[in-house]
């Protein structure tokens, strides 16, 4: 259990795109700089999507250019279609992400197409990325439950993950988009998917709606998964899943891992400072237990 764990920071993209209050390009750049300064070396910086669909991600090209001097960090951007791919390349993206759902209903609600149609959309992206030497990460959403269909069969997730893997994604992130999973189900899912995609190439992307994310991550780690997606401050949610909260908070993950003797390289003081700044920008305090406790401790010490 003590092998290195890789943390992928989702806050500036998956987190902020679901916040009601938009954050400016300059402030998003400063947030990413602060996260990198805290020791995080993989930060998802933006999304090349329609500004009408997700206005919070307007200016992602400028954000990427603003942080691209960090050549020792992974700086992925989300790309939904070929137009988005072309825009990402104009901005200098070296690492992109594509996404599909394990639920037909969620796919139609989220991106207005079937699962099969979504795969057809990103096939040419993966082909172009391969030719251009661009790395591609794959996301599968609703892996442990769907707001429309309820429980999702593990085989449905296996099938999508295998397609992404076969098309050339170097890593597949499994997303419990609405945060309904429990440890036994997370363990079962990882066992099933790792029969088709090697465990070292899988990542856990668990939301914390029902307070199960850390327990699910621990169960996944017991199965051998060593990559965790998280969002500083527990930012985010899902517009198509009422009540869904953000990703598991990075500070909660760091606290757990460090307490287990697993070094993360993350400076908690600097991470908390970054979280408090962005929380002020969006007008609400961080939702995580660790940020709440540390902020209360700091106030008491004044």
Secondary structure string (H, E, C) spanning the chain? CCCCCEEEECHHHHHHHHCCCCCCHHHHHHHHHHHHHCCCCEECCEECCCCCCCHHHCCHHHHHHHHCCCCCCECCEECCCHHHHHHHHHCCCCEEEEEEECCHHHHHHHHCCCHHHHHHHHHHHHHHHHHHCCEEEEEEECCCCECCCECCCHHHHHHHHHHHHHHCCCEEEEEECCCCCCHHHHHHHHHHHCCCCCHHHEEEEEECCCCCHHHHHHHHHHCCCCEEEEEHHHCCECCCCCCCECECEHHHHHHHHHHCCCCCCCCHHHHHHHHHHHHHHHCCCCCCHHHHHHHHHHHHCC
Q: How far apart, in whole angstroms, are the C-alpha atoms of residue 31 and residue 233?
A: 12
- What's the token pair of residue 151? 């429980």
Known active-site residue 73 = no
For residue 109, count CB atoms less than 10 angstroms from its CB and return exposed for 0-12, middle for 13-18, buried for 19 or more. Answer: middle
CA distance 276 to 25: 18
Nearest by Cα to 154 from 137, 176, 178: 176
Separation of alpha carbons 223 and 47, rounded Å: 31
| Active-site residue (options: 146, 169, 225, 238) | 238
Active site residues: 238
């Amino acid at each position: 259990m003590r092998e290195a764990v890789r943390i992928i920071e989702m806050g500036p993209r998956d987190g902020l795109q679901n916040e009601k209050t938009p954050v400016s390009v300059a402030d998003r750049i400063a947030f990413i700089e602060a996260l990198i300064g805290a020791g995080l070396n993989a930060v998802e910086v933006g999304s090349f999507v329609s500004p009408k669909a997700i206005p919070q991600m307007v200016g992602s090209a400028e954000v990427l250019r603003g942080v691209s001097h960090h050549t020792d960090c992974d700086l992925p951007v989300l790309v939904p279609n070929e137009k988005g791919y072309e825009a990402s390349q104009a901005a200098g993206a070296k690492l992109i992400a594509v996404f599909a759902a394990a639920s037909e209903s969620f796919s139609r609600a989220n991106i207005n197409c079937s699962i099969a149609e979504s795969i057809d959309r990103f096939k040419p992206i993966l082909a172009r990325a391969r030719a251009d030497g661009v790395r591609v990460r794959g996301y599968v959403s609703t892996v442990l439950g769907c707001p429309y269909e309820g429980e999702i069969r593990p085989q449905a997730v296996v099938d999508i993950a295998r397609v992404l893997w076969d098309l050339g994604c170097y890593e597949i992130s499994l997303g419990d988009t609405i945060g309904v999973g429990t440890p036994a189900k997370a363990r079962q899912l990882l066992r099933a998917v790792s029969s088709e995609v090697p465990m070292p190439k899988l990542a856990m992307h668990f939301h914390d709606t029902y307070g199960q994310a850390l327990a699910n991550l621990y169960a996944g780690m017991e199965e051998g998964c060593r990559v965790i997606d998280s969002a500083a401050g527990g930012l985010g949610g899902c517009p198509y899943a009422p009540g869904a909260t953000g990703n598991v908070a990075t500070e909660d993950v760091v606290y757990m891992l460090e307490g287990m003797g697993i070094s993360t390289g993350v400076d908690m003081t600097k991470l908390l400072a970054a979280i408090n700044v962005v929380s002020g920008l969006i007008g609400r305090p961080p939702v995580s237990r660790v940020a709440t406790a540390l902020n209360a401790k700091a106030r008491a010490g004044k």
